[in-house]
């Protein structure tokens, strides 16, 4: 068993291949060592260790570019999978293959960093994720003008529809965290979220605009009654939207709801620009 917080471990090639019975393996520059896990800041032997521990491995964190070389049996016992964009977005097409074999998966984290096409890709493999209870998707890239450009709203809504299809395929979700830094039609997304009958925790951060009270009330009507924790990040054009009469429909049927509104940002019409 390996433990630690920030120390670096060095192994010979032969030594690494002898490390067995690991529960968690991470190829990441930020994640700290966990009990019974090994941290790889940069290692050409990553695949060897993963293959050696295929039977015991439950959590795997790796970049997009490593998906191609991962054998199918690696995914069969995983309960937690996290993938992140290392600039090799062409490899996201390997995700449906991973999903097909990851029938025990309970938690999925995707750090896409501006790779919008991943939404259409994950839709294709979602039907096998029958045990998934937690899904986190971070796709923001504030430097890309698509996220606030209305000229590409149609394209963005197509991606949003793909995400909605994915969510419909994983009805057992209890926790959902979305950071989609693109223009999003909440009329497309939130009716789908409403169908998640087990959802308890929801975090949504995306630059849709609440222009009127009706917009906010639409959202309130399409949140599951099962929610106990809601974090909402959006843009508003008027503070009037947060009047008590507007917030009340959101919380009246959810007496245990913890509502985080600190991420809601006030903007003027000129900020659409």
Domain limits of the chain?
A: 58-272
- The burial class, CB within 10 Å (0-12 / 13-18 / 19+), for 151 is exposed
CA nearest to 236, candidates 203, 258, 269? 269
Least confident among 1-15, 76-90, 187-201: 1-15
pLDDT band at 202 (very low <50, low <70, confident <90, very high): very high
Question: What average pLDDT does the segment 161-188 reach?
Answer: 86
Query: From CA 118, how far away is CA 23, in angstroms rounded?
Result: 27
For residue 183, the model assigns a pLDDT of: 59
d(CA 215, CA 186): 9
Mean pLDDT of 207-230: 78
Neighbours of 92 (CB within 10 A): 21
The CATH number given to 58-272 is 3.80.10.10
The CA distances from residue 91 to 66, 118, 227, in Å, are: 8, 10, 35
**Mean pLDDT, rounded, for 40-66:** 81
- pTM reported for the whole predicted model: 0.80
- pLDDT number for residue 263: 45
Provide the pLDDT for residue 208: 59
Asked whether residue 122 carries a pLDDT value surpassing 60, the answer given is yes
For the chain, give the number of residues.
273
Dihedral of the alpha carbons of 229, 233, 238, 239, in degrees to the nearest 10: 40
């Amino acid at each position: 068993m390996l433990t630690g917080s920030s120390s670096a471990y060095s192994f010979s090639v032969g030594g690494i291949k002898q490390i067995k019975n690991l529960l968690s393996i991470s190829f990441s520059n930020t994640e700290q060592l966990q009990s019974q896990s090994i941290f790889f800041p940069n290692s050409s032997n990553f695949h060897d260790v993963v293959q050696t521990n295929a039977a015991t491995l439950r959590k795997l964190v790796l970049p997009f570019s490593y998906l191609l070389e991962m054998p199918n049996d690696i995914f069969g016992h995983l309960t937690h999978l996290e993938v992140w964009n290392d600039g090799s977005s062409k490899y996201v097409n390997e995700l449906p293959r991973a999903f097909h074999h990851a029938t025990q998966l309970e938690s999925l984290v995707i750090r896409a960093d501006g790779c919008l096409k991943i939404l259409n890709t994950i839709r294709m493999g979602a039907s096998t994720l029958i045990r998934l209870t937690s899904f986190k998707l971070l796709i923001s890239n504030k430097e890309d003008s698509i996220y606030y450009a209305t000229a590409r709203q149609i394209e963005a809504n197509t991606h949003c529809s793909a995400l909605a299809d994915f969510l419909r395929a994983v009805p057992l979700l209890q926790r959902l965290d979305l950071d989609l830094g693109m223009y999003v039609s909440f009329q497309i997304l939130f009716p789908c979220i409403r169908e998640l009958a087990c959802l308890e925790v929801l975090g949504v951060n995306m630059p849709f605009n609440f222009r009127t009270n009706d917009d906010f009330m639409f959202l309130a009507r399409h949140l599951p009654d099962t929610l106990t924790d809601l974090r909402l990040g959006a843009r508003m054009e008027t503070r009037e939207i947060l009047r008590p009469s507007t917030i009340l429909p959101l919380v009246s049927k959810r007496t245990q709801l913890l509502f985080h509104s600190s991420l809601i940002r006030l903007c003027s019409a000129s900020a659409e620009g």
